Amino acid sequence: MNLTLSIPKTTLLAGLVLLSLAGCTTVKEYQKSRINDAEMELSARKSEKFEQNFYLYREGAAGANGGKSGGGCGCN
Partner 1 sequence: MKRICISVGVLLSLWRAGYGQTTTEPAYEKRKLKVEEINLVSSYYQQDGNNSAVTGGIGTEHLTDFAQSLDLVLKTTDRRNRRHTITFDFNIDHYTSASSDQIDPLTVSSASRSDTHIYPSIAWNVHNDATRTTRGIALSYSTEYDYKSYGINVNFAKASADNNREVSLKAGAFFDTWKAILPPELRPEGYGSGAHGDTDPVDYKPRNSYNVSLSLSQVINKRLQVLLTVEPAYQQGLLSTPFHRIYFQDGAETVEKLPGSRMKLPIGLRLHYFMGDRVVIRTFYRYYLDDWGMQAHTVNLETPIKLTSFVSVSPFYRFSHQTAVRYFAPYSQHKTTEKYYTSDYDISGFTSQFIGTGIRMAPPGGLFGIGHWQSVELRYGHYIRSTGMVANSVTLLAKLK
Output the smallest distance, CB 65 to partner 1, in A: 5
Output the smallest distance, CB 53 to partner 1, in A: 8
Give the number of residues in contact with partner 1, rule: CB under 8 A: 56
Which residue in 62, 45, 43 sits closest to 53, CA to CA? 62
Cα distance between residue 40 and residue 33, in whole Å: 10
Write out the binding residues for partner 1, residues 20-49 only, by CB under 8 A: 20-21, 23-29, 31-32, 34-35, 37, 39-43, 45-49
Q: Is 8 in the site for partner 1 (CB under 8 A)?
A: no
